[in-house]
Amino acid sequence: MNIVVGVTGGIAAYKTVQLVRLLIKAGHEVTVIPTEDALRFVGLPTWEAISRNTVTTSVHDDVARVRHVALGQAADLVIVAPATANTIARMTAGLADDLLGTTLLATTAPVAIAPAMHTEMWRHPSTQANIEILRERGVHILGPGDGELTGGDSGPGRMLEPEELFDEALALLAPQDLAGRTVAVSAGGTREPIDPVRFLGNRSSGRQGVALAAEAAARGARVILVAANISGDVLAAAKHPQIDVRLVGTAAELGDAMRDAAASAAVVVMAAAVADYRPARASDQKLTKEEGVLDRIDLVENDDIVAGLAASRPDGQVIVAFAAETLTDPAARRERAARKRERKGVDLLAVNRADAEHGFENADNAVEVIGDRGVVVASAAGSKPEVARAIWDAVVNLSQ
Ligand code: CTP
């Protein structure tokens, strides 16, 4: 995608360097348009080096290619970070005496701004009135956050962190191809109690499932996220008005919650790592070595939740399962995945390589999505949000 990053004259400009890096790393074409004032904070060579594109502030450069409107016309998204009180006022008035001003007037792409200023300036009626006008015009206002400001002050006015801006930017670029649909996603790992202090569990962090929920919401879906033992940090990425989080602990609880969620869902994604077995009896007293009862735990098999959902699914519902496999040979991994897909009766099975660098507990993941007759319908390697995008693309393709 073509992304224009406008940078205006605030100290937070140094954080925008990281935003540009993240966008480039995710494969986007980025053009940085600073204001003259912004260059006092971060110099032109930095923006050129980091964006790998020519950078200018002026409407008088590259006139042959009508740069003053061409950049805005070609943009898929314009994000201004930081957006100072002055810039916000200028945008409201439609001033266009520099390249950023003309670009903002020439674009029909979504525009987002990340305000950054002192609390008093943010709260001033002029700024608030300008923000309201921009919001009414459809400009996305990202933040500001509440926290430490330059000079030791603290309060609302702090620019959002580059990682947050990156996520928001990608959400704005998301196609609305799941709008009007409800999807049910399970995430995390179940814990099967042995006694009040011990459990049988697994290493799933829930990151991939949470990324799937967040991506579905960004694409317009209403999401029911059934979350098994996910830390608050990880779950924070699922904070979205369209995501309804339901917390569960055991496989039995996850099964109940998913059957309930699946009843109204067009798509079911079982990303949770479900324990295949549970202790036959969970003791309500802590077991001790002294009693000699800890050397053996009798297990009973849990129901296969996703197979059950697939067997009784409503017409047209798409079901996606996951499998973490340690097999290193790709062909063998695919073959096993294809058999698992058949056995579970699901439409798609996303296999991920579970090793030291990928899968459980890691920020990155690599998956292949296996469809009908064992065909690989999609593959993706990268961050868990990137993998989530590829999986939803495959789901959308399937239902077209
Ligand atoms: N799953 C489930 N219920 C279970 C176990 C697993 O719904 N009791 C789901 C998982 O959420 C995942 C898929 O089934 O989407 C694959 O899980 P996996 O453990 O790989 O499958 P198994 O059938 O247990 O195969 P294996 O013997 O290879 O572990």
Domains within the chain, CATH numbers bracketed: 2-172 (3.40.50.1950), 182-399 (3.40.50.10300)
323 C-alpha to ligand 1 centroid (Å): 7
The residues that are catalytic are 202
For residue 86, how many other CB atoms are within 10 A of its CB?
Answer: 16
Atom number of ligand 1 nearest to Cα 343: 23
Distance 224 CA to ligand 1 centre (A): 20
Mean pLDDT, the chain, rounded, equals 94
- pLDDT for 363: 66
The 3-state DSSP class for residue 394 equals helix
Confirm if 113 and 139 have CB atoms less than 8 A apart: yes
Ligand 1 centroid to residue 303 C-alpha, Å: 10
**Pocket of ligand 1, candidates 202, 268, 304: which has the most ligand atoms within 8 Å of its Cβ, to mutate?**
304
What share of residues in the chain are helix, strand, coil (percent, to 5)?
40, 25, 35
Q: What is the pLDDT of residues 358-369, one digit of tens each?
A: 666 666 788 999
β-pairing verdict for 364-370 and 348-353 = antiparallel
CB 68 within 8 A of CB 106: yes
- Pocket lining: 17 vs ligand 1, CB cutoff 6 Å: no
Answer whether 30's CB lies under 8 Å from 48's CB: no
State the Cα–Cα distance between residues 382 and 366, nearest whole angstrom. 6
* CA distance linking residue 263 with residue 177, whole number of Å: 21
CA–CA dist 167, 149 (Å, integer)? 23
Is 322 touching ligand 1 by the criterion CB < 6 Å?
yes
Measured in Å, residue 304 CA sits from the centre of ligand 1 at 7
Instruction: Tell me how many degrees the CA angle 181-135-57 measures, rounded to the nearest 5.
Output: 115
Q: Which two tokens stand for residue 6?
A: 């406008």
Residues of the chain with confidence (pLDDT) below 70: 356-363
Structure confidence by residue, pLDDT tens digits, 334-358: 999 999 999 999 999 999 877 766 6
Q: Which whole-number Å values give the CA distances from 398 to 226, 281, 371, in the listed order? A: 24, 42, 9
Task: Tell me if 243 sits within 8 A of 225, measured CB to CB.
Answer: yes
Cα–Cα distance measured from residue 127 to residue 5, given in angstroms and rounded to the nearest whole number: 21
Determine the pLDDT at residue 155. Answer: 87
Please report the pLDDT score of residue 357 as a whole number. Answer: 65
Probe target for ligand 1 pocket from 186, 202, 276, with the most ligand atoms within 8 Å of CB: 276
How far is ligand 1, taken at its centre, from the CA of residue 392, in Å?
20
- Could you report the per-residue pLDDT of 7-21, keeping only the tens digit for each? 999 999 999 999 999
Instruction: Give residue 273's pLDDT.
Output: 97
Answer whether 321 contacts ligand 1 (Cβ < 6 A): yes
274 lines ligand 1 (CB under 6 A): yes
Distance CA 243, CA 232 (A): 15
302 lines ligand 1 (CB under 6 A): yes
**In terms of Cα–Cα distance, which of 136, 144, 154, 128 is closest to 80?**
144
- In tens, the pLDDT along 167-182 reads 889 889 889 999 999 9
> Is 208 touching ligand 1 by the criterion CB < 6 Å?
no
Integer Cα distance of 184 and 272 in angstroms: 12
3-state secondary structure of 275: coil
Could you tell me the pTM of the whole model?
A: 0.78
| pLDDT of 154 | 85
Distance 240 CA to ligand 1 centre (A): 28
Query: Closest Cα to residue 68, out of 41, 110, 97, 26?
Result: 97
* Residue 342 near ligand 1, beta carbon < 6 Å: no
Q: Which residues contact 28 (CB under 8 A, 6 or more apart)?
A: 1, 2, 3
- Contact present, 357 and 369 (Cβ < 8 Å): no
The protein residue whose alpha carbon is closest to atom 12 in ligand 1 is 322
Q: Closest ligand 1 atom, CA of 302?
A: 8
